[in-house]
Amino acid sequence: MARYQAPFEIHVHGDVVLSPNATVEQVQEALMPLWKYSGADSFLAGAASSYEEEPGLHFDPIAHKLQICWTVAGDEDFRQAIEDTCMGLNDIAERGAAIEVSFYDTEFDDEEGAGRGPEGESRDDFLMCFVGPTPLAIMEIQRDMLVQDVVHVMERHFDASELSPIVGVIDALFQQRFNDLETSMQIGRSPRGGSGHGAGGRKPRHLH
C-alpha cells in the first residue's frame, strides 16, 4: 500500500553472501517483506530504491551475493518487515552478515529544530540486524564487528599488541553465549530425534 506522509525515510544497507544453491526465486521470496512494504506488486518494481543512484535490492547470481542499498518511506511497522526478511535470508545465507537499518525523521526541521519527538528532538533511529545459516555463523559476525569497534576505540590509548586480553574476553563471552544456546537447543529436542516443537527443531531468528 502507498504510504503518504510517512514519518520516516528508511535506509537498509548490507551485503549478504548466499548459498551457491540459492535461486533467484528464493531470493525474491526472502525479500518479499521489503518489496511488498514499498507497495509494489512485483519484485522488479519493489527492488528499486527511492533514490535512483542506489542499487536497491540487487542479487548477483554469478557471485551469489545480495547487495542491499535501498530506501523506502515508512513507519515503525517496518521493523516487522525487516525481521521477516532476515528470517527468510537465514535459510539461503552462506555465512553470517550484518544489515544496517537507519530511520530518518522526515518531519524534523534542522534549521528550526522542530519535530514531533520529545522536546522537538529528531526521532532518528538505527537498527543492526544479523543473518546467517546457523546461530554460530550469526555470533561470529557479531563477534567480529564488536572486536573491530572495541579495538578502534582502544587503539587511541593503547598499542594494538596490548589488546589481546580484551579480544580474549570478548571471545570468551561469545563462546559462553553459544554454549548456553547449544544447551538450550539440546534440552528442546524431543527424545529419539523426533520432530518436537522445542528450540532444537526450529530455525533461530536473527540476533540483534
Helix axes 135-154, 164-188, angle to 10 degrees: 160
Other beta carbons less than 10 A from residue 133's beta carbon: 18
Please state the domain extents for the chain.
8-133, 138-201
Q: What are the C-alpha distances in Å from 183 to residues 106, 128, 180, 200?
A: 45, 26, 5, 10
Q: Locate cell 506488486: which residue?
A: 41
CATH class, domain 8-133, is alpha beta
Q: What share of the chain is helix, strand, coil (3-state, %, to 5)?
A: 40, 20, 35
pLDDT reported for residue 6? 82
Cα–Cα distance between 46 and 44 in angstroms, integer?
6
68 bridge partner residues: 14, 57
Cα–Cα distance between 126 and 101 in angstroms, integer?
6
E strand or H helix at 141: helix 135-154
pLDDT values of the chain reduced to their tens digit, one per residue, 208 residues: 445 578 999 999 999 999 999 999 999 999 999 999 999 999 999 999 999 999 999 999 999 999 999 999 999 999 999 999 999 999 999 999 999 999 999 877 544 544 455 556 778 999 999 999 998 899 999 999 999 999 999 999 999 889 999 999 999 998 888 888 778 777 655 444 333 333 333 333 334 3
